[in-house]
Every structure is written in C-alpha cells, then in structure tokens.
Amino acid sequence: MDAFLISTSVVALAEMGDKTQLLSLVLAARYQRPWPIVWGILVATLANHALAGAAGAWATTLLGPQLLRWVLGLSFIAMAVWMLIPDKLDDDQAGSAAPRLGVFGATLLAFFLAEMGDKTQVATVMLAAQYDAYLWVVAGTTLGMMLANAPVVWLGERITRRIPIRSVHAISAVIFLLLGLMTLLAPGLA
C-alpha cells in the first residue's frame, strides 16, 4: 500500500504546473468537452505508465542491489532538482493532433506523446524500480495524474491561478530529495 500512496502523492505533486497539465488546460479550452478529454488522459496515462513501470521493474533484474540503490537514490535527487525547473508547453504539442481523431483520440495521442520523457514518466520508472509492486505503482501514478489533470479540464484557469505552483514544486522537490536520501542511506531498501 505504501507504493500506491507514495506513487499517487509524488506524481500528483510533480504534475502541478507540468507541461501535461498545461496540455490539459489547452485541450479543455480548445475542445470544451471535458469527458472525452478526461478519458483520453486516463487511457494515455495508463498506457504510458504501464510501459514506464515495466521498464522500472525490468531495471531491477539488470542491476545488482547496491548499484540499483545508487542509481535510484541519485535519480530521486536529480528529480528533486528537475522539479525546480518550470515546464512550458511546447508550441508543437498544443495543437498537433489532427481533429479527425476526435476529442478523445486527439487527447490520447497528444497526452501520450507529451508524457514521453516527462518528470512523471521518469518518476514512474524509478518508483517501479524502488518498490516490488508494479500494479500498485502504475495505479498510484495514474491516480496522481488524474488528480492533477481532471480538475484542470473541468475548472480550467480558475484552479491554476489559485494554486501556488512554485510552492508545489518546492514540496515535490523536498519529497524527491527525501526519497533519494532514504534510498541512499538505507541499504535494505534496494
């Protein structure tokens, strides 16, 4: 259960102000049909995080416990630094999906591609490598993405103006830093 709760909270915080959250806002403003957008985000996230979780679980079979501990610990610390760098939505991601795909299809494609190499995808890889609970990690990271993005689709700019994004990023950075230090200092975790 720890894997689920930590994955949910880490990704929900990491997603605040992230480019995929900005993409959710752009899609909501462009299409003004929240349900197909939310379903597209859910399916894209499940697919993307299932692959990322599998990559993390696979990494545990390649690396020995000590090397894995160092890779994970330093990766979490690197994520802490990365959290302090603000995201911007790339112009080509905002409206690149063809309208012929429909709202659901456009959202699915745009969101899946935007999530490639994103902070939350990298976090999913690391969390799946950290915990021997692939399904709980994927379920948690997906829930975290939905908790951060679905309200943006429905409430749009009103919600993003009220949340102090810098504070959320700082809290996320501290959480990643703590995870990194705990991983490095507790040899039994790997």
Q: Which long-range contacts (CB under 8 A, 24 or more apart) does 157-164 make?
A: 157/25, 160/17, 160/21, 160/25, 163/16
Closest CA to 161 of 153, 150, 152: 152
Distance CA 40, CA 150 (A): 11
Is there a contact between 129 and 3 (Cβ–Cβ < 8 Å)?
Answer: no
- Distances in Å between the alpha carbon of 56 and those of 71, 132, 148, 158, 185? 12, 10, 23, 36, 21
Q: What is d(CA 182, CA 186) in angstroms, rounded to the nearest whole number? A: 6
Whether 42 shows a pLDDT value over 50: the answer reads yes
pLDDT digits (tens, 9 = 90+) for 165-182: 677 667 768 877 887 898
Q: Find the mean pLDDT for residues 117-144.
A: 93
Tell me which residue has tokens 């599998």.
54
173 Cβ contact partners less than 8 Å away, ≥ 6 residues apart: 80, 81, 83, 84
pLDDT value at residue 168? 66
- What pLDDT, on a 0 to 100 scale, did the predictor assign at position 99? 56
Question: What is the rounded average pLDDT of the residues 98-123?
Answer: 85
What pLDDT score was predicted for residue 161? 63
pTM exceeding 0.85 = no
Residue-range domain boundaries for the chain: 2-189
Token readout for 170 is 């700082």
The mean per-residue pLDDT over the stretch 107-111 comes to 91
Per-residue confidence (pLDDT) for residue 17, from 0 to 100: 78
> What does the DSSP assignment read for 22-86?
HHHHHHHHHH--HHHHHHHHHHHHHHHHHHHHHHHHHHHHHS-HHHHHHHHHHHHHHHHHHHTSP
Mean pLDDT of 73-86: 79
Q: What is the average pLDDT across 23-41?
A: 88
What mean pLDDT, rounded, does the chain reach?
Answer: 83
pLDDT in tens, 46-68: 999 999 999 999 988 888 888 87
CA atoms within 13 Å, Cβ hemisphere of 140: 25
Residue that is written with structure tokens 């720890």 in the block: 2
